[in-house]
Amino acid sequence: MAESGFVYMDPDQTGVFYQEFLKRVGETDEATFNEGRFKMNLDRCMQMAQAERGDLARLFAHNLIQLLRDKDRTFSKRPMGMSLALLFAWLHRNGAMLWMEPAELEGVMRTIAAGGVYLEDVDQYLRQYIRQAE
């Protein structure tokens, strides 16, 4: 693991999972967002992360978790940002440690970082989501 806390992985490998992830989680927008559709997208990502690309998904999430732990970072309240934050909070809570190439990850975060949602908010929302699912 690098000093920054990020784990290096080949960007060519990363792209395959990342594009598929965005296709599945990123398909909602503010106009169409609802809890049922969000849960379906989240579940699909969980299945994907546990399938043959599980190691890739774990590395991807590990690096996002490093950013979620940064209290100075904020995440967009738009569903895309919340979807990303919730997915990786869920993975972290369930013991999965994940990865991604740092420069590419920074680009992802710049895309969704618009301010408003801190890690504490994500954790609170996640607990509510889990309670509803039980």
Query: What's the chain's length in residues?
Result: 134
List the end-to-end C-alpha distance of the chain, in Å, as a whole number.
36
pLDDT tens column, 115-129: 444 445 555 555 555
CB 85 within 8 A of CB 68: yes
CB 113 within 8 A of CB 74: yes
Is residue 4 in some structural domain? no
Range of the domain at 106: 11-133
Q: What is the pLDDT of residue 51?
A: 53
**CA–CA gap between residue 3 and residue 71 (Å, rounded):** 19
pLDDT in tens, 2-25: 334 444 444 444 444 445 554 554
Within a domain: 6: no
**What's the pLDDT tens digit per position in 30-88?**
444 444 554 555 555 555 555 544 555 555 555 555 444 444 444 444 444 555 555 55
Residue 115 lies in a domain: yes
**Res 46: pLDDT:** 54
CA distance 53 to 35: 26
Sign of the alpha-carbon dihedral angle for 78, 115, 47, 125:
negative
In a domain, 1, yes or no: no
CB 82 within 8 A of CB 54: no
pLDDT of residue 41: 54
Over residues 87-98, the pLDDT tens digits come to 555 444 444 434
Nearest to 90 by CA among 133, 57, 46: 46
Does 2 reside within a domain? no
Mean pLDDT rounded to a whole number for the chain? 48
With respect to residue 5, please indicate whether it lies within any of the assigned structural domains: no
Q: Could you tell me if residue 44 is inside a domain?
A: yes
Question: Encoding tokens for residue 133?
Answer: 């699912």
> Is there a domain that residue 111 lies in?
yes
Number of domains in the chain: 1
Whole-prediction pTM value?
0.26
